[in-house]
Copies of this chain bind each other. A is one copy, B any other.
Amino acid sequence: MPEIASTPQPPYYAVIFTSIRTDGDKGYGVMAERMVDLATRQEGFLGMESAREGLGVTVSYWASLEAIAQWKQNVEHREAQRLGHSSWYADFKVRIARVERDYGG
Q: Which A residues form the contact surface with B (CB < 8 A)? A: 1-5, 7, 10, 14, 16, 18-20, 49-59, 91-105
Contact = CB atoms under 8 A, between A and B. Distances in A.
B2 A55 contact: yes
Given A14-B97, A97-B99, A51 B59 contact: no
Given A51-B51, A59-B57, A102 B93 contact: yes
B100 A104 contact: no
B99 A103 contact: no
A50 B94 CA distance: 15
A16 to B, nearest CB: 6
A19 to B, nearest CB: 8
B54 A2 contact: yes
16 contacts: A2-B20, A2-B54, A4-B20, A4-B55, A4-B92, A10-B95, A16-B49, A18-B49, A18-B59, A50-B53, A52-B53, A57-B58, A93-B104, A95-B99, A96-B99, A96-B102
